[in-house]
Amino acid sequence: MPSMPSPSDTWTRRRLLAAIGGVAAVWLTPHGTAHAAEDSLGSLGLPASHWKPLVSAAAYAVLFNEDTERSGTSPLNHEKRAGTYICAACYQPLFSSEKKFDSGTGWPSFWAPLDDAIGTKRDFKLVFPRTEYHCARCGGHQGHVFDDGPAPTGLRYCNNGVALRFIADGEALPPLRG
């Protein structure tokens, strides 16, 4: 005669089924999808299509389709001069070189942005939640922020290099686009 499951076995199966159901729900729900071609997260309120003729195809894919450039491919990883990192689309200043550090990840990393330069949202593309950040002005995707950075913030703003331009100290910042 088959034995009945004990209450503790049933509870374990219920917990397992609930966990599987929760993962399936997250997996099947369209979280963290890229901007639709006419959506905007930035204060300018311009559609993503506005920026397409102004940036390279690789930059557009990152900025407005939330693509990720391959680790270790950005020349900005090795940029050591003093200066300002600006959004490749609208030229909004985003980071100071004083707050850049070598994270060993293969992407330009910073421990703090300039004041009011970025916005954030939750991203579930890899199932677990992450914090995506974007240019506050045009809404262009820049990267993700993690809590494994250096003092004083403990944060690591991991940026796609193709989404940035570097302007060395002594060079004029370009006029904002939009």
Q: Is 158 a catalytic residue?
A: yes
Partners of 130 in beta bridges: 123
CA distance 47 to 8: 55
Q: How many Å separate Cα 145 from the centre of its chain? A: 7
Select from 176, 78, 80 the least CA-distant residue to 135: 176
Q: By the 8 A CB rule, do 20 and 127 touch?
A: no
CA distances from 117 to 27, 42, 92, 114, 160 (A): 31, 10, 7, 6, 16
Strand ranges across the sheet with 156-159? 100-101, 109-110, 156-159, 141-146, 130-135, 118-123
* Residue from 87, 135, 138, 158 carrying the catalytic annotation: 158
Task: State the catalytic residues.
Answer: 158
